[in-house]
Amino acid sequence: MHYFDNILTTALLGTEKRQLTSGELTPDLAELYEVIKENADLDNEEKFLQIASLGYNYRRCGFGLLKKEGIAEVVPHEEVNQYCSDDAIKVLEDILEEESDELLKLWLDLCLGKRLIVHPVLIPVLLSRAAKGKSCRNLIVQSCGKRGEWLINLNKDWHFLIKPEISEQDWGNGTAEQRRKILRETREKEPVNALEMLKTTWQVENANSRAELLKQLETGISDADIEWLESLLTEKSQKVKDEALRLLKMVSGSHILQQYWNIIKEAVQLKREKGFLGIGNKIIVHIQAPVINDEAIYKSGIDKLSKDKNTSDDDYILMQLIREVHPENWEEYFNSTPHEIIGYFEKDEKTKKFLDGIAAATLKFKEQNWALQFAKQSSVFYADLIPLLPVREQEQSIIAHLTATHQMLTWALSLKHEWSLQFAKQVIKLADEGIAQWLNGQYNFSTNHIYNNKSFYKLGIHLIPVELLTELKSRPQEGDPIVLKKWEENTGYLVKLLTIKQKIYKVFA
Amino acid sequence: MCQNILTLTEDQILALAPDAASQKAGKDLGQMDKWVSYGADFTAIWGECQGSGSKPYQTQIDSQNIAFKCSCPSRKFPCKHGLGLLLLYAKNNAVFSGKEAPGWVKEWIDKRGEKSEKIAENVAKPVDEAAQAKRQQARIKKVNEGIEELLLWIKDVIRNGLLQIPGKESSFRALSKRMVDAQAPGLAGIINTFEEINFYKEGWQSLLLDKLITLYLLITGYKNQESLSHEMKLEIAGLIGFAQSQEELKAKDGIRDDWFVMGKQISEDAQLTIERNWLYGINTRKYALILQFYVKNQVKGLTLTTGSIIDAELVFYNPGLATRALLKQQHEWKPPVIVKGLNNWKESIAQQAADYENNPFTSEIPFIVEQLKPVIYNERWWLKDRDDNMMVMKLHGDALWQFLAASGGQATTLALVGKDNEFTPIGMWLNNRYFVI
């Protein structure tokens, strides 16, 4: 045993129970201990403390080094991509200071677009951020390059940031999550192969796994899947049957949607009503109660009874059927354009309400043409269809139809494209009356309530065009200093974020 | 004069901020258009910043004695306005000049001057040596009684065994209070560190014994001081709590050198923040430790920027035995140079052994060692030198990842602080630039 362990053992047990002997020490210390022990003025405890004190410094002065050759180096792979510029790093530091996820995403997108990576010094900060929140996680990992991967592998708290590489070879033995990913990715590239892949293992999957894997077929679903999906309607598991049916309702050619459409056709007809002496002939939509002979229809998710006292059971059933079928069916059936069809339904209050069903089907099948017609023509505004509209029509629809401020701001923030300057001004007008007044040349801040819109600007900075900066920066040169100060407070944060955004574009130009 | 506030860099000014939020807010206010008026003269910097109220906030800085005053309601010190004004001055001092101080600035500076004069008068008063000697005798008597009690306690612990200690940690606090009463604050401070020991974690036994031995050595040394050198007497007196007068120290000749600021370690002790600034003399090859203590909302008297080199005169508290020093005079900032370190761990542990032999109370030791590479062995991080000798690297959390990210696992020259066989990197050179860890 090491001599200091003997000293420590004695200290732990106490000198009353254990006495340290010279034989437990090194020869140098043992010799000194013999001298100490001879000192009759000292009690046992102090004799021990004296030799322990000598042993303590003897130990400290004698620390040796561990010599090890051939220990594997811990170094990252060489980077493939170049580091971004120092200026870009400065902008990144500004973004991190402002804690703006949207600006960070923009910075990372542009950095990766230029095949550049982040300087190593900022990697831990970024990886910690990626570990705390999903936002920008993948972009951060990619932008940290090989050194980032290396650090992730060294820090077990970051391991989850890199998902192990998987390929089709792992289809048979991957984890449930990996297999779903493989099927989804194969489905995106080769839908038919993905289906065949699923078929090969179908018999050995349990019910839960079958239902979960089936969900992945939603991507790239087509008529080619119908036959197999319909064969699953006789499966034992209700979960699997429900999922198969849900998918079949997404394919126009499926038997179930054909059945729905046949019932609709029987119930809804386009009729030409004759006017006096042929003058004023008009086309109307004639609706009668749907006839359902097959009870299986009700088992496919169509309810028999209306939940609304103002809607008859027949109308309710018909509405549910219309929501499921593709809107293109109407074009062929009525031999009319979406514009004309919406017009026919709108003529009468009794038929107008069924446009809600066609609008829902438009959303379900992501029919852009129908969405545009609804936005242009319908007397009812279907906000859910906004994402299906072309970029500028989305902005126009929001301005034209949404009157409640919170609703408009929420939709404005949901847009996927950068706002036009005109739209940005409109949004900010609502978001901040103070700024709007400045933009309109009226800035009496002393009488207006000043909104704190920092969080709104933070959420929407990726949508606000940099061009707005010029107008916001043209500070009024004259006026009451208090008014000017309030103007700055109001615009200051937005100006700061827009300035950073402008710099992002500049450093990656 | 310690340091002139008028020459502070942006980093140094930001280092004065009480927290990160103040740094950010201060930066935002470091813009010309945020200020309604501003100016500076030899004694002060001042400005008016429009806040949310009708009257602008009046912010002023005593540039001779580093003090801030602001009419804003913030409880932070210095407030964001003070920081913003100083940042603005650092960037654009030319536009501050040629302005006469307004009344509210003159009034404040005059009042501060009056206070300083009163303090100076008190200092200049003749010392009643007899009374002073009497007070000193009384204190020594108290300390003697205190250390006898402490020795008794240590012997009781040794007789009954350290295994009796876990669960009786409250006795530390009572003992520490007793040492404060005995006017031996240094001993009280060492006893307070007992509470840092985790008695549920393996290794507490050795940590506790080391601390008991240190106390015993101090007590024994103090009791036998007649046989000790002047330096060792000074060291023991300092560790027991007999403070040296800073004014007296400053009156002594110091060592002028280009001092490289290796790093800064900050710790909290109750309300007190302790800042440990490690310096290395480029020409003298001496290491120095400058301690700074401040409570919340107090402006630091000294701002040393890590990685910078200052031409300065340092006075060491105990030149023969310890690294602790104070900054007597700072002359100018020097451009960065590559600092030459030790070649390997062998040189550092030889130096360490000599230091321990010379002074058994030596605690942490700073070193600059070249070509150290982080490696993993037995699931621990080590620093391997060019001769394949390794030392445990004591670095955790964010600092570890920061170090690894920047170094990329490559060998680099490191500034380290540590003791025994564990060292913590506090800075490193990469591509001729110094990075703080």
Segment B67-76 shows an average pLDDT of 84
CB contact under 8 A, A121 and B161: no
pLDDT digit string, tens, across residues A105-153: 999 999 999 999 999 999 999 999 999 988 899 999 999 999 999 999 9
Beta bridge pairs of residue A282: A273
CB contact under 8 A, B388 and A67: yes
Mean pLDDT of the residues in chain A: 89
pLDDT digit string, tens, across residues B268-313: 877 788 889 999 999 999 999 999 888 766 667 677 888 889 999 9
Whether A481 is in a domain gets the answer yes
Q: What confidence score (pLDDT) does residue B75 get?
A: 77
Q: Looking at the structure, do residues A310 and A330 belong to the same domain, yes or no?
A: yes
Closest by CA to A452, choosing from A470, A435, A472, is A435
Name which of A49, A97, A128, A475 to mutate to probe chain B: the one with the most chain B Cβ atoms within 10 A of its Cβ.
A49
pLDDT interval class at B3 (50, 70, 90): very low
Q: What confidence score (pLDDT) does residue B370 get?
A: 96
Mean pLDDT of the residues in chain B: 89
Cα separation, A467 vs A24, whole angstroms: 82
Residue-range definition of the domain harbouring residue A127: 100-161
Which residues in chain A are closer than 8 Å to B346, comparing Cβ atoms? 65
pLDDT digit string, tens, across residues A443-482: 444 443 334 467 788 889 999 999 998 887 765 556 666 6
Q: Looking at the structure, do residues A309 and A214 belong to the same domain, yes or no?
A: no
ipTM of this complex prediction, to 2 decimal places: 0.82
Closest by CA to A389, choosing from A369, A413, A412, A364, is A369
Cα separation, A168 vs B147, whole angstroms: 76
Confidence check: pLDDT of A280 > 80: no
Q: Which of A113, A145, A161 is the last residue of a domain?
A: A161
Whether A81 is in a domain gets the answer no
Looking at per-residue pLDDT, the higher value among A8 and B331 belongs to: A8
Q: What confidence score (pLDDT) does residue B2 get?
A: 41
Number of domains within chain A:
5
Q: Looking at the structure, do residues A193 and A235 belong to the same domain, yes or no?
A: yes
CB-nearest partner of B402 from A45, A124, A492? A124
- State which residue of chain A sits closest to B374, comparing Cα positions: A74
Q: Looking at the structure, do residues A207 and A105 belong to the same domain, yes or no?
A: no
Q: Does A13 touch chain B (CB under 8 A)?
A: yes
Q: Number of Cβ pairs closer than 8 Å across A and B?
A: 150
Can you give the length of chain A in residues?
509
Name which of B199, B208, B209 to mutate to probe chain A: the one with the most chain A Cβ atoms within 10 A of its Cβ.
B209
Whether A216 is in a domain gets the answer yes
Q: Looking at the structure, do residues A350 and A235 belong to the same domain, yes or no?
A: no
Count Cα atoms within 13 angstroms, Cβ side, for A376.
Answer: 15
CB contact under 8 A, B158 and A121: no
Q: Looking at the structure, do residues A157 and A175 belong to the same domain, yes or no?
A: no
CB contact under 8 A, A66 and B402: no
Cα separation, B172 vs B189, whole angstroms: 11
Q: What is the DSSP string of B34-93?
A: GEEEEEE-SSEEEEEE--SSSSPEEEEEETTTTEEEESS---SSS-HHHHHHHHHHHH-G
Q: Looking at the structure, do residues A411 and A479 belong to the same domain, yes or no?
A: yes
Q: What confidence score (pLDDT) does residue A275 get?
A: 66
pLDDT digit string, tens, across residues A161-215: 987 777 777 888 888 888 999 999 999 999 999 999 999 999 999 999 999 999 9
Q: Looking at the structure, do residues A142 and A230 belong to the same domain, yes or no?
A: no
Q: What confidence score (pLDDT) does residue B329 get?
A: 87
CATH code assigned to B246-334: 2.40.50
Q: What confidence score (pLDDT) does residue A279 get?
A: 67
Closest by CA to B289, choosing from B312, B254, B315, is B315
* Residue type at B22 in one-letter notation: S
Closest by CA to B406, choosing from A83, A119, A85, is A119
Q: What confidence score (pLDDT) does residue A335 get?
A: 94
Segment B235-256 shows an average pLDDT of 92
Q: Which of the following CATH numbers is that of domain B345-436: 2.40.50, 1.10.10, 2.20.200, 3.40.50?
A: 2.40.50
Closest by CA to B276, choosing from B395, B188, B363, B399, is B363
- Which tokens is A72 given? 């594997």
Whether A487 is in a domain gets the answer yes
pTM across the whole model: 0.80
Q: What is the DSSP string of B126-140?
A: PP-HHHHHHHHHHHH
Q: What confidence score (pLDDT) does residue A277 get?
A: 66
Q: Does A89 touch chain B (CB under 8 A)?
A: no
Query: With contact defined as beta carbons under 8 Å apart, do A179 and A148 qualify?
Result: no
Q: Looking at the structure, do residues A201 and A305 belong to the same domain, yes or no?
A: no
Q: What confidence score (pLDDT) does residue B305 get?
A: 82
Closest by CA to B244, choosing from B360, B177, B324, is B324
| Residue A472 CA to its chain's centroid (Å) | 31
Query: With contact defined as beta carbons under 8 Å apart, do A423 and A442 qualify?
Result: no
Reduce the secondary structure of B327-370 to three states and give it as a string.
EEEEEEEECCCCCCCECCHHHHHHHHHHHHHHCCCCCCEEEEEE
Ranking A145-159, A284-298, B49-63, B309-323 by mean pLDDT, the lowest is B49-63
Q: Which of A251, A280, A305 is the last residue of a domain?
A: A251
- State which residue of chain A sits closest to B52, comparing Cα positions: A486
- Which tokens is A9 given? 């053992």
Q: What confidence score (pLDDT) does residue A447 get?
A: 44
Confidence check: pLDDT of B399 > 60: yes
* Residue type at B35 in one-letter notation: W
Q: Does A16 touch chain B (CB under 8 A)?
A: yes
| Residue A63 CA to its chain's centroid (Å) | 54
Question: What share of chain A in percent tops pLDDT 70?
Answer: 91
CA distance A384 to chain B (A): 41
Q: Which of A251, A279, A313 is the last residue of a domain?
A: A251
Whether A390 is in a domain gets the answer no
Confidence check: pLDDT of B171 > 50: yes
Whether A87 is in a domain gets the answer no
Q: Looking at the structure, do residues A426 and A373 belong to the same domain, yes or no?
A: no
